[in-house]
Amino acid sequence: MAVTKKKKSINYRVKTGLAAAPLDKGFEAFKAYCYSDIDRKEMVLIMKAYVKATYPKAKAAAVLAAPEHMYTVRVHVGAAMQWVNYGLQFVPRTVKRKVLLTDGRTTMREEEFFYNGQEAIDRFVNEAMPVGEEILKAKALEKKLEDNTPAVAVVTPLQRYQQKLNETIFVDLDDLEEEWINGEEPEFDLYNRLRLHGLTGKAADSVRKLLEGWLLDYTDSYNKVCEQAVEGYAHIKRTVMRRRIKHIELMLADCDKMKAASAATRKVSKPKVKSADKQITKLKFKKDDSEFKVVSINPILIIGAMRLYTFNAKTRELTEYVSRLADGFAVKGTTLQGIDEEVSRKIRLRKPEDLLPTVLSKTNKQINTAWDKLTTKQSKPNGRINDDTVLLKVMAK
């Protein structure tokens, strides 16, 4: 009787991660795989290992010191670095693009496109290096202070404020960016988020630098003015990209509003007139309004001013008071004294968010130009200031 031998079964281990990456289909397929199948943290490790092995020690140290978020949003750069690690070349490829003909019709035309991976890597390094250098300088200064005062760790006010930024608003922005990477489109009110963390207009400049970097990348990709940006954000639909550009522009506007709000609430010395502080003791006004994102100035600034702008958050009425007295305004109870009734005016705003930024940041002439474009009927103010009135701005003439 014949004996049948059983075939031995060999268990092959399924390849995952970079081991399963498609290297024979070109860089585009490899980059798409990195976006979909490689964890962001693994891509960051790949990028840092490449930087450490490729660049001089001082330059690599500065790039490696850059914040994590500068790495996580540049998966295409990490893919290019790994492609170089494999010893592979970036070769031109043929793409089809829609072209508008002179007769108004469109047609598909094949064009040769070359993705310069090394240029994308150099661009990332040049952006990350100065940021990392500033962080290293701050750490060196902090270490020097610690060495000089071993008993007590001295932290400068600037370092303390930067640490607060890193632990609050920058964490929120990193979370927002991570949600965008995951395809989510959450609501994010930057102005009220800054106020929630107790941050002032000083934070707006640091936040603005980050947002302007985002905006540059998205607009370069959307308008197709930078090949690296186009390739890096090729996985994002144009409708989503346009919505994110609009969101970033709104956040930049919130930075301006926060700076204006901080300037309005900045502590000021009392006027020389001794009775100024007593004049405003009974004055009722609204300190801030989160809906229209405006904050009242210190009411003591009204005394002696020649022009005052107020906004009633309940009725949406913008009022311009002009003083007829050489010494400027005075206040009695809750009423403004010394108003020139002939030139003072008020108007109801249909869209307050369009005109309020102009009132807060522009000159009197520019405000008049914008005011004259309004079609709503004007009326004369009575000088009364109530709980719904936000004190926007004063002028010396």
Residues 280, 256 within the same domain: no
Q: State which H helix or E strand residue 321 sits in.
A: strand 317-322
Residues 298, 261 within the same domain: no
Residues 122, 140 within the same domain: yes
Among 27-36, 47-56, 245-254, 375-384, the minimum mean pLDDT is found in 27-36
Residues 19, 106 within the same domain: yes
Determine, yes or no, domain membership for 8: no
Residues 217, 322 within the same domain: no
Q: Which of 150, 185, 206 is the last residue of a domain?
A: 150
pLDDT at position 392, please? 93
* Residue 6 CA: distances (Å) to CA of 2, 3, 9, 12, 88: 13, 10, 9, 18, 44
Label residue 30 exposed, middle or buried (CB < 10 Å: 0-12, 13-18, 19+).
buried
- Identify the residue with better confidence: 246 or 10: 246
Determine, yes or no, domain membership for 3: no
Q: Which amino acid does the sequence have at 146?
A: E
% of the chain at pLDDT higher than 70: 91
Determine, yes or no, domain membership for 10: no
- Identify the residue with better confidence: 340 or 95: 340
Determine, yes or no, domain membership for 206: yes
Say how far apart CA 281 and CA 285 lie, in whole Å.
11
Determine, yes or no, domain membership for 92: yes
pLDDT (average), residues 44-58: 91
pLDDT at position 380, please? 93
Q: Which of 240, 265, 290 is the last residue of a domain?
A: 265
Where does the pLDDT of residue 231 fall: very low under 50, low under 70, confident under 90, or very high at 90 and above?
Answer: confident
Where does the pLDDT of residue 35 fall: very low under 50, low under 70, confident under 90, or very high at 90 and above?
Answer: confident
Residues 384, 311 within the same domain: yes
Q: How many CB atoms lie within 10 A of CB 319?
A: 22
Say how far apart CA 329 and CA 339 lie, in whole Å.
7
Residues 109, 126 within the same domain: yes
CA-based R_g, the chain, Å: 30
Residues 285, 240 within the same domain: no
Average pLDDT over the chain reads 85
* Residue 171 CA: distances (Å) to CA of 83, 165, 212: 31, 8, 17
Determine, yes or no, domain membership for 2: no
Q: Is the pLDDT of residue 8 over 60?
A: no
pLDDT at position 7, please? 54
**Which tens digit of pLDDT belongs to each residue from 125-182?**
999 899 989 999 988 888 887 777 555 567 788 888 888 888 898 888 888 888 888 8
Domain that holds residue 327: 276-395
pLDDT at position 25, please? 83
Question: Which of 168-182, 229-243, 301-315 reaches the highest mean pLDDT?
Answer: 301-315
Determine, yes or no, domain membership for 7: no
Say how far apart CA 274 and CA 67 lie, in whole Å.
52
Q: Give me the residues paired with residue 266 across strands.
A: none
pLDDT at position 391, please? 94
Residues 202, 312 within the same domain: no
Residues 20, 145 within the same domain: yes
Where does the pLDDT of residue 199 fall: very low under 50, low under 70, confident under 90, or very high at 90 and above?
Answer: confident
Instruction: Kindly provide the residue ranges of all beta strands, DSSP E only, lying in 221-295, ordered along the sequence.
Output: 288-289, 294-295
Q: How many CB atoms lie within 10 A of CB 134?
A: 13
Q: Which of 231, 265, 299 is the last residue of a domain?
A: 265
For residue 94, give the nearest of 115, 111, 117 by alpha carbon. 111
What is the pairing mode between strands 389-395 and 335-337?
unpaired
Q: Which amino acid does the sequence have at 246?
A: K
Contact between 349 and 317 (Cβ < 8 Å): yes
Determine, yes or no, domain membership for 5: no
Q: What are phi and psi of 15, to 5 degrees?
A: -75, 140
Residues 378, 281 within the same domain: yes
Residue pointed to by tokens 């860089």: 27
Say how far apart CA 186 and CA 193 lie, in whole Å.
14
For residue 298, give the nearest of 270, 339, 321, 275 by alpha carbon. 270
Q: What total of structural domains would you count in the chain?
A: 3
Q: Which two tokens stand for residue 190?
A: 């930057």
Q: How many CB atoms lie within 10 A of CB 166?
A: 13
**Which tens digit of pLDDT belongs to each residue from 313-364?**
999 999 999 999 888 999 988 899 999 999 999 999 998 998 999 999 899 8
pLDDT at position 162, please? 84
pTM for the full predicted model: 0.38
Residues 144, 244 within the same domain: no
The helix-helix angle for 201-222 and 157-167 (nearest 10°) equals: 50
pLDDT at position 153, please? 64
Residue pointed to by tokens 């102005």: 191
Contact between 328 and 304 (Cβ < 8 Å): yes
